[in-house]
Chains A and B, each alone.
Chain A
Amino acid sequence: QQQVKQSPQSLIVQKGGISIINCAYENTAFDYFPWYQQFPGKGPALLIAIRPDVSEKKEGRFTISFNKSAKQFSLHIMDSQPGDSATYFCAAKTVDNFNKFYFGSGTKLNVKP
């Protein structure tokens, strides 16, 4: 059973547009929700993360929106650039002693010039 469900699988956005990727989870014990960016041949790199006690976090062009009651969170990339073309993963982790992240299945973003 997939703990974190991510959509869409792929996304094409024009340069300057807004990219939106959505994730949903079931486990209410999750308490840390990071987003990772992965380029081909590279490991995932942390973009931005949020805890469930806030509804939004913004860092530069990247914003996480978090809806605790709906058990959903999303990544918004404002003013999308061709350099943002990569695969994005949402993830979640429970409050315990493990760094066991549950990852979504990924969204391949293509930003057209």
Chain B
Amino acid sequence: ETGVTQSPTHLIKTRGQQVTLRCSSQSGHNTVSWYQQALGQGPQFIFQYYREEENGRGNFPPRFSGLQFPNYSSELNVNALELDDSALYLCASSLDMGQGIEAFFGQGTRLTVV
């Protein structure tokens, strides 16, 4: 186990709704990244938080937003859900950033939008 926990594990939402996913990072890790993994694909980088600030963003629209709390846990919020948002959402935590820093992934939240 990586020590990174995500909740909930599964979620079903209706198109147009909003969703919040949660991630508890490994103890001592101050950096959290979020990824979207569509079925049969590799994970795609959504954004990263470092010490409570967004610190890098992938090619995702503004309706994908996040937060990082003082204890370094994090939330991913998605507004106006679309069917294509159905995916496995992964968070990864690491101690700081930069070269060769290992990122530890949680087990993911499976989001289904109907």
Which residues from chain B contact A101 at a C-beta distance below 8 Å? 33, 35, 43, 45, 103
For the complex, count residues of B whose C-beta is within 8 A of A: 31
Q: Which residues of A contact B97 (CB under 8 A)?
A: 97-99
Is the pair B102, A49 in contact by a Cβ cutoff of 8 Å? yes
Does the CB pair A105–B106 fall under 8 Å? Answer: no
Contact between chains at B106 and A43 (CB < 8 Å): yes
Instruction: Give per-residue flags for A31-49: 1 if the beta carbon is below 8 A from chain B beta carbons, else 0.
Output: 1101010000111111001
Residue of B nearest to A44 (CB): B105
Residues in A whose Cβ lies below 8 Å from that of B35: 101
**Docked complex Cα distance between A98 and B50 (Å):** 9
Chain A residues with Cβ under 8 A from B98's Cβ? 95-97
Q: By CB atoms of chain B within 10 A, which of A4, A36, A49, A103 has the most? A: A103
> Cβ of A76: which chain B residues have Cβ within 8 Å of it?
none
CB-contact partner of A45 in B2, B44, B99, under 8 A: B2
Interface residues on A, range: 20 to 34
Within A83-109, the residues touching B (CB, 8 Å) are 89, 91, 95-106
Q: Are A103 and B90 in contact (CB under 8 A)?
A: no
> Closest chain B residue to A32 by CB distance?
B100
A41-B107, A43-B106 as given contacts; A97 in contact with B56, CB under 8 Å? yes
Contact A105 B42 (CB under 8 A): yes
Chain A positions within 8 Å of B107 at CB level: 41-43
Q: Which residues from chain A contact B104 at a C-beta distance below 8 Å?
A: 46
Which residues of B does A touch, CB under 8 Å? 2, 4, 31, 33, 35, 40-45, 48, 50, 55-56, 58, 90, 92, 94, 97-108
